[in-house]
């Protein structure tokens, strides 16, 4: 792991050969909404967190329990595009990582994925609507030829041209340099509001890639308004708390 960042597993669990899905809030918050839905609908176990002094001091409270801001969930379901993965791992947060933590987080996630011998890492992203469509399209980007075969097998159209930023971009860049299999699934989403309906398209695509998990996106569509409101509330609280934090003292030079 990188010196200033680590994935700390606080539940003893034999994590090996997993299919890893990474989703953080970007356009439409689709990655965060989709991964939260995966974790809750499949009853995945919270097994760890991403720790670093470069991350904001934020902790969530849910049903009286302390929940890490940057979370790792796991389940024992056989999954993955070739049905050879033994577990599903979800890495998620309601909050985007700070700019200075993006590259270390990408490296940490991929180092950990190699440590647990992951066959495939999939990141989830939103792109701004060019025009409103009732059913947003999903595109894919891969770091290897094998990854593009996976996209083709599951009828995901490769993205010919575009721009990806943030954590997904860093994960793709690091993975390409290390020849690791990483996919990025992108869907059109509203720029200014959480878009659970667009997130459901990512869930549908993940469901095609992991048919044994029997992921049903319909409840996500029905619960879209509630999930959107929860995500808005979390981000508003983070912004409020961040403004209240005391400023660090300036350095003094003789």
Number of domains in the chain: 1
**Are the CB atoms for 185 and 136 separated by under 8 Å?**
no
pLDDT band at 190 (very low <50, low <70, confident <90, very high): confident
249 part of a folded domain: no
pLDDT at 105: 97
241 part of a folded domain: no
B/e letters for 170-204, b = 16+ CB within 10 Å, e = fewer, are: bbbebbeeeebbbbbbbbbbbeeebbbbbbbbbbb
103 part of a folded domain: yes
210 part of a folded domain: yes
pTM of the model: 0.83
76 part of a folded domain: yes
Structure tokens at 106: 């990408």
pLDDT at 184: 97
Structure tokens at 11: 């539940």
179 part of a folded domain: yes
Residue 213 sits in a domain whose CATH number is 3.40.50.10900
Chain segment 23-53, per-residue pLDDT in tens: 999 898 999 999 998 998 889 999 999 999 9
CA distance 176 to 144: 7
Chain segment 129-180, per-residue pLDDT in tens: 766 566 778 999 999 999 999 999 999 999 988 889 999 999 999 999 888 9
129 part of a folded domain: yes
pLDDT at 77: 63
pLDDT band at 85 (very low <50, low <70, confident <90, very high): low
Structure tokens at 74: 């796991």
User: What mean pLDDT, rounded, does the chain reach?
Assistant: 83
**Domain ranges, residue 79:** 6-236
Determine which of 89-93, 171-175, 193-197 has the lowest per-residue pLDDT on average.
Answer: 193-197
pLDDT at 253: 28
Determine which of 24-28, 110-114, 147-151, 241-245 has the lowest per-residue pLDDT on average.
Answer: 241-245
pLDDT at 163: 87
């Amino acid at each position: 792991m990188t010196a200033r960042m680590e994935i700390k597993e606080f539940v003893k669990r034999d994590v090996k050969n997993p299919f890893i899905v990474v989703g953080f809030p970007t356009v439409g918050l689709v990655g965060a909404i989709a991964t939260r839905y995966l974790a809750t609908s499949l009853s995945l176990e919270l097994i760890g967190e991403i720790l670093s002094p470069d991350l904001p001091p934020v902790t969530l409270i849910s049903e009286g329990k302390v929940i890490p801001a940057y979370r790792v969930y796991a389940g024992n379901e056989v999954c993955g595009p070739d049905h050879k993965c033994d577990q599903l791992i979800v890495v998620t947060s309601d909050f985007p990582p700070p700019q200075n933590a993006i590259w270390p987080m990408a490296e940490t996630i991929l180092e950990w994925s190699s440590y647990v011998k992951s066959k495939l890492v999939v990141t989830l992203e939103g792109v701004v609507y060019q025009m409103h469509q009732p059913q947003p399209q999903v595109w894919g980007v891969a770091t290897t030829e094998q990854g593009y075969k996976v996209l083709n097998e599951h009828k995901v159209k490769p993205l010919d041209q575009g721009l990806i930023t943030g954590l997904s971009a860093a994960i793709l860049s690091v993975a390409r340099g290390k020849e690791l299999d990483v996919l990025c699934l992108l869907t059109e989403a509203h720029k200014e509001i959480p878009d659970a309906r667009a997130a459901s398209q990512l869930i549908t695509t993940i469901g095609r890639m992991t048919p044994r998990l029997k992921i049903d996106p319909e409840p996500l569509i029905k619960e879209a308004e509630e999930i959107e409101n929860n995500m808005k509330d979390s981000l508003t609280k983070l912004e409020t708390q961040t403004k209240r934090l005391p400023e660090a003292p300036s350095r003094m030079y003789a």
